[in-house]
Chain A
Amino acid sequence: MKTTLTTTALGLVLAAGAAGAQELRFMCYQDGSECAAWGAQMATFEAENPGISVIVDEVPYASIIESLPVQLEVGEGPDLARVTDYGGLARFMLDVRPYVSDADAIEARYGQSLAWARVGDNNADGIYNIVDQLTATGGFANKTLFDQAGVEMPGAGATWAQWAEASRAVRDAVGVDFAMAIDRTGHRFAGPAMSYGAAYFDANGDPILVDDGFRTFAEQFVAWHEDGTLARDVWAGAGGGTYQDAAAEFINANLVMYYSGSWQIGRFGRDIGDAFDWVATGGICGPVACTGMPGGAGIVGFKQTEHPEAVGKLMEFMARDEVQGAVLAQTRNIPANSVLQEQGIAYQDVSDDVKAALTTFAASIPTFADSAYALQGYANNRAIYTSTPARITQAIVGELSLEDALTRLDADIAEAIAQ
């Protein structure tokens, strides 16, 4: 009898413990050291919240883009994830406003980026995402190559045409392979296209893609591929909507000017070291504007979680100034948190190149066009980002005339939106 009672009591204690323990799975990708940085913060969170444990599952970015949506679609997947596709994942996201103690503080700090997930049927005042890495597209220039070539580097406010001319002059003088390169994605294409006058949305906020501005930049873009100004290897070196960058060429000092984004800063700081001097160019101007594209990775919770309250607590913890500050200092990213933007981040062990680049990119974000923010928050932006390289590349390699490529691009986007 005594044995039975003891066993039953032990069983009840174990069962109660199991019921009380909440394990959160956090699917995380990283450009540099983001997952490791968040992993280090979890000990503090778990100490503050006994009974909640967090497992950080580090995955490649491709898993976030390709596998996560399918998992969520069938009701599976992690409790939280670090994502960039807010529009595409919006319908799976958990509004943690009911579970946070100070929603106003989060709103005050992350208001602009919170809007990116308030799309579709999501609540207009919902808290769905805590952006831990604000990004901006922009250029990087190899200063050493400019110095060697004796060519003056275009300054702040320089135009795309000026950068093209200067980069070609440097390439020809020093004998590297490439003058300029732009990452193969519609996201990177959008900034310069807007600078050339592409609106992307009409006055009612409905998407339009191929307008005069878009067409003008597309013509220039194809022409620069034809005359060798832009590295053909990047856009013509792949098919479909496949993403391709030119970071390796820039790191190997084989490229004069590279248009990518602030997420490359950490990698350049690490891989280039003191091999050569490089600078961030800041916004590059077209005839109409000088905008890049904002963006950023952030942590979101998902509706299918069994522990929404715990997810809310974790996201509020991640949003805290000192926690974000510690993670950003380690990951060398630009804060989305407005308080930290004002205070500045004490980045750890960074070179002068990296520090200057972070400052330049951070300063460029407030100058971006409204349409750039609208596109970033647009639910179907991924369709634009993948269709653009697929069709523009067809014009670059001569499979389609530019006119036909743009017609097809418009049709692709119209179909995607209709879905």
Chain B
Amino acid sequence: MLKTLATQAYDGAFNLFERPMLALQRLFGQSRIAWVFLLPNLLIFGLFTFLPIILNFVFATTGGDRILLADRPFVGTEHFASLLDCESYFDPNSCHRDLFWRAVGNTGWFVLMQVGFMILFSLITALILNRDIVLRGFFRAVFFYPVLLSPVVVALIWKWILQRNGVLNAGLEGAGFGTVNWLLEADWAFFWVVFVSIWCNMGFYVLILLAGLQSIPSDVYEAAEMDGTPRWRSLWRITLPLLMPTMLVVMVLSVIRAVQAFDEIYVLTGGGPGSATTLLIQYIYDVGFATRPRLYGLAAAASLLMAGVLFVLTMMQLAATRKQSGDN
């Protein structure tokens, strides 16, 4: 009875949409009807993604501190030239925009350290959590929990831990050790920025790697075990190669996310001491919004350069993925 009612309701709903759909199909033709369905999404995508990109180009090629395009004089590639004006790209002091190049250098180091160590720790954690250990469910939740926290909350918590009179120094002092101004020494501040970023993002990547590990058929391991293959060799010859497509996804996502890092670092160190932890996004924010005059054009140019680098990196990683898929 219930099933009959459900079928009738489904048929009724189908008939309700059938006529207008047929009318649309007659109006646009069968080959073009797909565009009608795509139109709402395309409009939203165009308005909120493509239009801002175009506006970004326009701002990058115009000058002044006004926001209305009509009030902004065309300056061509002046902002790009100003950003790239350097005697040596490895010495920010020799650059016209020294703070931009410091931010580029910091971002490069941050991506290398954060992505490298995060993938390593995520992999180790995922391998452990994939084993039949005690309280496995609990530990999986524990590692994922920081991902659920707002980056600002994460940064504030760590700031309380790391500040001069914070929990860490209190613990060190209590244990008879000397204290360190963790966020005031450039090297330590950078270390903690990387550490906190890994701490709050790692759970997400652990989850992806865990899913990848669980998708590896168990019979492969059983066959290896029967052949007497040592565990490290199974890891090296079976797990890692079969996990590589997942690792590449993790790498692409984590590189993009690392380049875009801003909120937790801004709250934790403010980009300091000096510019020791100022990354590219903060440079763009500072130039475009936090200082006077607001150099929207310069900020837009810097963001386009960053987008270009990100695009190249992503393409390289995707090419590697395709090559690997082809090899397999």
Binding site for B on A (CB under 8 A): 66, 69-70, 73-74, 88, 177, 232-233, 236-242, 244, 254, 380, 382-383, 385-387, 390, 393-394, 396-400, 404, 408, 416, 419
For the A-B complex with A177-B165, A240-B272 known, give 20 more contacts whose Cβ atoms are closer than 8 Å: A66-B290, A73-B66, A236-B272, A236-B273, A237-B184, A238-B270, A238-B271, A239-B271, A239-B278, A240-B271, A241-B291, A242-B290, A385-B292, A386-B290, A393-B274, A397-B273, A397-B274, A397-B276, A419-B65, A419-B295
A233 contacts B274, C-beta separation under 8 Å: no
* Contacts A/B (CB < 8 Å), 25 sampled: A74-B68, A232-B184, A236-B273, A237-B184, A238-B272, A239-B269, A239-B272, A239-B273, A239-B276, A239-B277, A239-B282, A240-B270, A240-B282, A240-B290, A244-B270, A254-B165, A380-B292, A386-B291, A393-B273, A394-B274, A399-B102, A400-B93, A404-B93, A416-B292, A419-B293
B interface residues, how many (CB within 8 angstroms): 35
Query: Are A240 and B278 CB-contacts (below 8 A) given A177-B164, A233-B184, A408-B98?
Result: yes
B139 at the interface (CB under 8 A from A): no
Assembly CA distance A383 to B294 (angstroms): 9
Residue ID in chain B nearest A67 by CB atoms: B289
Chain A residues within an 8 Å CB radius of B275: 239-240, 394, 399
Selected from A73, A383, A397, the residue in CB contact (under 8 A) with B67 is A73
B274 contacts A399, C-beta separation under 8 Å: yes
Assembly CA distance A69 to B165 (angstroms): 38
Chain A residues within an 8 Å CB radius of B276: 239, 397, 399
Assembly CA distance A387 to B66 (angstroms): 20
Closest 9 interchain pairs by CB?
A: A239-B271, A238-B270, A239-B272, A382-B292, A397-B274, A236-B273, A73-B67, A399-B274, A397-B273
A242 contacts B271, C-beta separation under 8 Å: yes
Chain B residues within an 8 Å CB radius of A238: 269-273
B-side interface mostly: loop
Min Cβ gap B211→A in Å is 38
Assembly CA distance A237 to B278 (angstroms): 12
Residue ID in chain B nearest A178 by CB atoms: B164
Chain A residues within an 8 Å CB radius of B294: 69
A397 contacts B270, C-beta separation under 8 Å: no
B272 contacts A419, C-beta separation under 8 Å: no
Chain A residues within an 8 Å CB radius of B293: 380, 383, 416, 419
Query: Are A386 and B292 CB-contacts (below 8 A) given A236-B184, A239-B282, A399-B275?
Result: yes
Can you list, as one digit per residue, whether each of B290-309 has a CB less than 8 Å from chain A (1) or not (0)? 11111100000000000000
